[in-house]
């Protein structure tokens, strides 16, 4: 039987407010709380909550015949805890059914795997700890930000102890080979590689409600017939997509939830198909060969490369300036700075700076809350400049900065003393007035 590996990814960044040049050094709060809460609540109500309710009903009805996997970033989970705790509760209910596997991720959906192994390791460990705290699972399988993968990144992931990694079944990598098998990393064959069947995945994730699509309308019966017609020797069909495909990208009115329910029922009834989690695929199937990926790939855009995040000079400059601070951050013990450092690493900030206005331009613009990629770049660099000032205060880079930091701390201490003295003065004045009033009454 062919395994159907159904995987959903969830990520929402902490979006920055409009942070002006004159805010640098004066205002250290970078986030648009109103937008963040509104977006999380909206997508939770339209997508995550109804989809989780449906999956819970399917799991209860079908038992261990229904399986699904999730990769949820740490920053998304943080926002659920802040703005939509009912989403966390719904995932915890799903977890108790035994049908769900949670995968490892970078905490803030960062590009750290491309730059710094220590920052990458810290992000992954932080995410693992959060998954265990909320859902009681220790992830075995890794899914990198935007499914970014290369032989070298795979080797790093293997050294962190993961048994497998998910990535894109990119045509220019596989050539004549099929994504519907289990592969191994070219450097460390102990790491198994599951490759997304992008055509069948995108039929649901992107084309389901497109009335101009020649296969529209897509029914569960039609889709399962496609799954069953995949070559007899193929062993696993990896259907990987964003969870917001259900209810947001593909609206409820288009019938996407009914489709998901019918799809699960059709697969369970099939004599040739079954649901499996990534870990089950890794445990049960034998890899057929090595997959060689010398240069990093992703699941984004036509090129399936890194150009969505690092394709222009603005993106590269912002990326380099961010990670130029990694050594200082390694010496930093300030909790607030570490929190902002994690949020600053989110790949979304670089995505907003993309100038790809051709085949993928509309999609890039639709995800950004900035009017242009240039505005996104300026805003991010302003935030980064303020962050650098704060970091230099706590972890000076040079003797000059050390003296400046010392003077800055002395000024802060003096300001605190002045505030305390002013408060004491107001208290004494108030006491004196009360005594004067009391004497006059007598």
pLDDT in tens, 204-231: 999 999 999 999 999 999 999 999 999 8
Nearest residue to 168 (alpha-carbon basis) of 191, 201, 139, 190: 201
Q: pLDDT band at residue 413, thresholds of 50, 70 and 90? A: confident
Predicted confidence band of residue 361 (pLDDT cuts 50, 70, 90): very low
pLDDT at 50 over 50: yes
Element (H, E) at 68: strand 68-72
Mean per-residue pLDDT, 64-84: 98
Q: How far apart are CA 360 and CA 341, in angstroms?
A: 29
C-alpha distances (whole Å) from 9 to each of 106, 177, 300 are 12, 25, 14
DSSP helix, strand, coil percent of the chain (3-state; round to 5): 55, 15, 30
Q: How far is CA 324 from CA 181, 318, 321, 388, in A?
A: 40, 10, 5, 10
What's the topology of domain 2-291? 7-stranded beta/alpha barrel (3.20.110)
Instruction: With residue 226 as reference, give the H or E element that holds it.
Output: helix 220-229
Out of 71-85, 269-283, 384-398, least confident range? 384-398
Residue 377 CB neighbours (<10 A) = 22
For 232-389, strand residue ranges (E) read 236-242, 246-247, 250-251, 273-275, 289-291
Which residues are marked as active site? 146
Average pLDDT across the chain, whole number: 93
In angstroms, rounded to a whole number, what is the distance separating the alpha carbons of residues 393 and 401? 8
Overall size of the chain counted in residues = 442
The whole-number pLDDT of residue 243 equals 98
pTM higher than the cut 0.95: no
Return the structure tokens found at 253: 């009115």
Burial 217-245 (b: 16+ CB within 10 A, else e): ebebeebbeebeebeeeebbbbbbbbbbb
Does the pLDDT at position 359 exceed 50?
no
In contact, 13 and 343? CB cutoff 8 Å: yes
Q: Tell me the domain boundaries of the chain.
A: 2-291
């Amino acid at each position: 039987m062919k395994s159907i590996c159904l995987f959903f990814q969830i990520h929402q960044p902490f979006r920055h407010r409009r942070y002006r040049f004159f805010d640098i050094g004066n205002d250290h709060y970078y986030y648009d709380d109103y937008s963040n809460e509104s977006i999380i609540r909206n997508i939770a109500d339209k997508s995550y909550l109804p989809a989780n309710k449906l999956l819970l009903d399917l799991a209860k009805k079908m038992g261990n015949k229904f399986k699904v996997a999730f990769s949820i970033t740490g920053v998304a989970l943080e926002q659920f805890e802040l703005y939509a705790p009912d989403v966390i509760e719904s995932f915890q209910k799903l977890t108790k059914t035994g049908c769900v596997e949670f995968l490892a991720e970078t905490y803030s959906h960062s590009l750290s795997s491309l730059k710094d192994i220590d920052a990458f390791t810290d992000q992954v460990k932080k995410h693992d700890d959060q998954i265990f705290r909320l859902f009681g699972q220790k992830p075995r399988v890794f899914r990198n930000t935007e499914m970014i993968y290369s032989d070298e990144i795979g080797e790093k992931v293997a050294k962190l102890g993961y048994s497998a990694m998910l990535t894109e079944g990119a045509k220019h990598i596989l050539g004549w080979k099929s994504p519907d098998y289990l592969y191994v990393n070219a450097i460390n064959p102990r790491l198994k590689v599951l490759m997304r069947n992008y055509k069948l995945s995108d039929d649901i994730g992107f084309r389901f409600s497109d009335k101009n699509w020649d296969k529209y309308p897509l029914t569960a019966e039609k889709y399962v017939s496609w799954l069953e017609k995949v070559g007899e020797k193929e062993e696993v069909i990896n259907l990987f997509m964003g969870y917001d495909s259900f209810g947001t990208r593909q609206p409820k009115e288009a019938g996407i939830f009914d489709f998901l329910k019918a799809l699960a029922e059709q697969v369970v009834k099939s004599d040739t198909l079954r649901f499996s989690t990534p870990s089950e695929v890794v445990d049960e199937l034998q890899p057929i060969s090595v997959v060689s990926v010398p240069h990093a790939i992703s699941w984004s855009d036509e090129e399936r490369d890194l150009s969505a995040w690092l394709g222009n000079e603005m993106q590269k400059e912002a990326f380099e300036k961010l990670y130029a601070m990694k050594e200082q951050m390694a010496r930093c013990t300030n909790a607030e700075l570490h929190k902002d450092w994690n949020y600053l690493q989110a790949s979304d900030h670089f995505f907003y700076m993309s100038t790809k206005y051709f085949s993928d331009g509309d999609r890039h613009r639709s995800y950004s809350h900035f009017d242009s990629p240039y505005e996104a770049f300026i805003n991010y660099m302003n935030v980064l400049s303020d962050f650098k000032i704060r970091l230099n205060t706590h972890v000076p880079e040079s003797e000059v900065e050390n003296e400046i930091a010392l003077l800055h701390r002395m000024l802060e201490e003096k300001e605190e003393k002045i505030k305390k003295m002013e408060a004491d003065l107001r208290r004494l004045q108030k006491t004196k007035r009360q005594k004067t009033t009391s004497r006059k009454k007598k």
